[in-house]
Amino acid sequence: MSKSQGPVCLIMEAEKLFLLFSLIMLQFLSCTSQESLKTNQTIKEGDLLISKGNIFALGFFSPGSSTNRYLGIWYHKIPEQTVVWVANRNDPIIGSSGFLFINQFGNLVLYRKDDQKLLVWSTNVSVEENDTCEAQLLDSGNLILVRKRSRKIVWQSFDYPTNIQLPGMKLGLDRKLGTDRFLTSWRSADDPGIGDFSIRINPNGSPQFFLYNGTKPITRAPPWPWRSQMGTFKSVFVNDPDEIYCQSTVPDGYYLVRLIVDHSGLLKMLTWRESDGRWKEYWKSPQLQCDYYGYCGAYSTCELANYNAFGCACLPGFEPKNPMEWSLRDGSGGCVRKRLQTSSVCDHGEGFVKVENVILPDTSAAAWVDMSKSRAEYCELECKRNCSCSAYAVIVIPGKGDGCLNWHKELVDIKYDRIESHDLYVRVDAYELGTLFLLRNNFKGL
């Protein structure tokens, strides 16, 4: 390069740098972020609604390798985009841009283009005349729509979860509002549409949380009353005439934890690990054979002492329904009552045998007996006088004393557990009762 060319080249390079800087600034200026959305504002492609503490962001995204656009909420601080809520999960924006605003009726509305003809999603609430609303994204990840006059929340995303439960979010039923809050998986990693798997509460009998594949149960949590968990992650459980729900809490500022139903059918709790910038699996379910609903069939128990042992065993007074399959370590057929043709458990000297330290059977068809009278003796008497009652349990209900739960159909999904355990009293015929009595008194010759 000659000396005369040097300054010219430097000027050209400076012009290129200025042009590049101008393009970057133009792109930056075209993308805005704000803490709240008012009636005269919009969220368009590239815009973000960011929570006050910079924890969560709301905007448009494309999952995985998809080119479809969705309105969602994700963690704003971590480098791996992790979406926790999707508005238009079954109605993607294809081949165009979207924009979000609050309309004249106080609703958050999402359109495909700015012609306001192709509505994609709406909060669908009613607001009083001459009142206006404002949308805010909280540091909890909850998107709320608030009346400006009363500051009352008229809609919140926590009432409409997708596949993730965040701390502070309730899962369960609100009978007063008629709201059922439950999680449903994405269809795939690239499609946030409603998938096959869900976790929701079954309020029948004694409430239980089930993980379903469609309508088929995969696994279930122990029935109510639940024991509130303490430690870093606390679980709060409520069951009253107005609400039945589970809610997790974490220390202030510790929001990088989530419960997810993933598209493979697993329920997982994940925490963010700063040391390597990854999500760490805290626990997942189902994992073991006994985690699967009804793995050992009806009238049997499941206990996984080790991976090589067969964990299924019939309840007292019962025997394998399919002995050949049972001998091949297939307990799915369950058990049937012994001497089914020759003895009776209805007014023929029958009684009850205690099975200790188990997670109680599926309570969907169980019924509570009047708790004001439910001492152990009364509970047994109530079950015995009803020939359809197959078992009972006396359960301590916090703040209310003892409760009595009776089962009137098959006993399904009983597992041994030392923590979430109760004693189950199983109905047996007189012969079984006498045999067990003799065995316990060392009459081994029978």
Co-location of 338 and 404 in the same domain: yes
In a domain, 75, yes or no: yes
Domain identity same for 308 and 231: no
Residues 195 and 211 reside in one and the same domain: yes
Interatomic CA distance for residues 138 and 157, integer angstroms: 11
Distance CA 446, CA 439 (A): 8
What the block records as the tokens of 139 is 């540091």
Q: Could you tell me if 307 and 395 lie in one domain?
A: yes
77: amino acid identity, one letter: K
Domain limits for position 420? 291-440
- Give the domain-ending residue among 141, 158, 175: 158
pLDDT of residue 21: 43
Residues 307 and 417 in one domain: yes
Based on the fold, state whether residues 273 and 297 are members of the same structural domain: no
110 domain residue, yes or no: yes
Do 133 and 75 reside in the same domain of the chain? yes
- The pLDDT of residue 115 is 73
Are 207 and 151 in the same domain? no
Peptide bond into 92 cis (omega under 30): no
Strand-pair partners of 354: 425
Per-residue pLDDT of the chain (446 residues; tens, 9 = 90+): 444 444 434 334 545 444 444 433 434 334 466 878 998 899 999 999 999 999 999 999 999 999 999 999 999 989 999 999 999 999 999 988 899 999 988 999 999 987 778 899 999 998 876 778 999 999 999 999 998 878 899 999 999 999 999 999 999 999 998 899 999 999 999 999 999 999 999 999 999 999 999 999 999 999 999 876 656 678 889 999 999 999 998 877 666 899 999 999 999 999 998 888 999 999 999 999 999 999 999 999 999 766 678 899 999 999 999 999 999 999 999 999 999 888 889 988 899 999 999 999 999 989 998 766 656 678 999 999 999 999 999 998 888 888 899 999 899 999 998 777 899 999 999 998 887 766 666 655 44
Q: Of 287, 303, 337, which residue is a domain's last?
A: 287
- Answer yes or no: do 426 and 307 share one domain: yes
Predicted model pTM: 0.87
The encoded tokens of residue 125 equal 């609430």
Q: Report how far apart, in Å, the C-alpha atoms of 284 and of each of 92, 134, 146, 262, 366 are.
A: 30, 38, 36, 11, 28
Q: Is residue 15 part of a domain?
A: no
Would you say residue 18 lies in a domain? no
pLDDT at residue 226 in the model: 82
Residues 6+ apart with CB under 8 A from 186: 63, 89, 162, 163, 192, 193, 195, 262, 263
311 with 246, same domain? no
Report the run of H or E that residue 180 belongs to, with start and end.
strand 179-181
Residues 153 and 180 in one domain: no
Instruction: Tell me: do 224 and 238 sit in the same domain.
Output: yes
The count of domains in the chain is 3
Burial class (CB in 10 A: 0-12, 13-18, 19+), 106: buried
Task: Assess contact for 358 and 421: CB atoms under 8 A.
Answer: yes
Domain of 69, CATH number, reads 2.90.10.10
Q: Which of 261, 287, 313 is the last residue of a domain?
A: 287
> Considering Cα of 216, then 219, then 223, then 224, what sign does the dihedral take?
negative
